[in-house]
Amino acid sequence: MESQRRPVERETPPASAEEARLMIDRAERVWQRQVANEEIPVLTGPSAAFRWLLLAVALGAIVFLTFEQLGRLG
């Protein structure tokens, strides 16, 4: 006997899928509101100057050590 194929019936997605979609949409809206209300603080004062100084010292050390290593190699 030959088996008969029945057409695949598409059912509506279960209610849990709709609930999950609503939860994701709600979370995304909350996140977008939160991001919209955030502002990046402007770094001023001594802490900003100190950070720039540390950055300059670190970059200077990297350049110095790079040239020192190149001097040893060649």
CB 51 within 8 A of CB 43: yes
Who wins on pLDDT, 43 or 63? 63
CA proximity to 43, closest of 53, 35, 33, 57: 53
What are the residue ranges spanned by the domains of the chain?
44-74
Q: Per residue in 14-27, pLDDT tens?
A: 678 889 999 999 99
Residue 11 pLDDT > 90: no
Q: For the chain, first and last CA: distance in Å?
A: 84
Averaged pLDDT score across all residues of the chain: 83
In the prediction, which pLDDT does 3 show?
A: 65
In this prediction the pTM is 0.41
- Return the higher-pLDDT residue of 14 and 38: 38
**Whole-number Å distance between alpha carbons of 37 and 72:** 53
Confidence of residue 7 (pLDDT cuts 50, 70, 90): low
From CA 74, how far away is CA 69, in angstroms rounded? 9
